[in-house]
Amino acid sequence: QSSFMSFLVKRDPDLRKRAFHQFYAEFQDHQYTLATLLAYSVKADVFRARARNFPSALEAALFPDDVPVAVYEGLVESVRAHLAPLFRYFELRRRVLGLSELHHYDTYVPLVPEIQTRISFDQAIEMVLGALAPLGKEYVDVLAAGLHGRWCDRYETKSKRSGGFSSGSYSAPPYILMNYKDDVFADVYTLAHEGGHSMHSWFSQHTQMFQDYEYPIFSAEVASTFNEELLTYHLLEQTHDPKMRAYIINRQIDDIRGSLFRQTMFAEFEKIIHAIEETGEALTLEVFKSEYHKLLAAYFAENFVLDPQLDLECLRIPHFYSAFYVYKYATGISAATTLAERVLSGEPGSVDACLDFLRSGGSKFPLETLKSAGVDMSTPAPIESTLALFERRLYELEELLL
């Protein structure tokens, strides 16, 4: 699947189209097997929930983090009510790419080609530290010492995994695994993101007892995405080059599109198919494809062509086989953007509240720690704030590209 994505970012529309159809031809050949696997995964979720006397599989999944169902449902409702800017973005894509119609395989190619830059690892560290300066001396000094020290394995080697990853243990420093390339601007963001995870671990490690050190995924993505948001604001302050600004803004827009809009659609699909199983109806291939197609039609604009093969996407998303996880990406980016706006606006106490959130580790439930930091995820405000940011950035991008 990683090879598939590498084709979808190519500038050649025919190459993207061929890659899309060839990729989904494989899923077409195995669609009944995959549908059976997904159906039994849902059955297992429902069985385990009933065995433990939960009213639904959704409530069973939310229970460990003490997240009310209203938060999950409120996320879907808020995003559903603000789809118009997303449709506008798809229309902007169609126009900028010079296409008569837009397909799903046209939504990943950058509107602004990758910026040609050469940024050394040490320069990237300084860029990230400059962006994180609002968090204060302790945060910056610890991260600087770690990145200039041996926290980060940044060299590509044989058999090393791709992407970025941060890990550690209670009695050792956090470690970052990535493959930093001087000519890939996105790697600066990867460094900021993984640095956020590492600093979350460091603050928790130096504050909490062992049993409260490990934090849940719900909180983890907030700390890392928060750093990316600060980096975006910092870079936009530093550059006035229209092409560079368009690239950075397009990147932020696509991050929100992927983490908030797309993951919410996934979350809604998970809720629907589990509800179908709970009513006793059979989950067949046609049911999966039909329900997923309805969501695709709702979350994409009228001028967006939905190729029939796209209905099979519901069978290839790994998270669907470990249900009710994807919503955390949507809540994570919403909380992160809200925290970033509070810190950058100079709101009194916002920096200390943010650092206290990092220090809290797993000592409290995630909604409680976020509320202490000034982000109340039990209300639609953080989600609506992020949706408003998406629309503001879209206006800026339209001015730069049209």
Active site positions, annotated: 194
Determine contact, residues 224/197, Cβ cutoff 8 Å: yes
> 118, exposed or middle or buried, with CB in 10 Å at 0-12, 13-18, 19+?
exposed
Sign of CA dihedral 276, 280, 281, 287: positive
Q: Are strands 172-177 and 165-169 parallel, antiparallel or unpaired?
A: antiparallel
Task: Tell me how far apart the alpha carbons of residues 257 and 366 are, in angstroms, rounded to a whole number.
Answer: 23
Instruction: Give how far Cα 260 sits from Cα of 181, 220, 263, 301, 383, Å.
Output: 28, 16, 6, 17, 8
**What is the rounded CA–CA span in Å between residue 137 and residue 132?**
10
Q: How far apart are CA 383 and CA 76, in angstroms?
A: 10
Between CA 334 and CA 344, with CA 339 as vertex, the angle to 5 degrees is 130
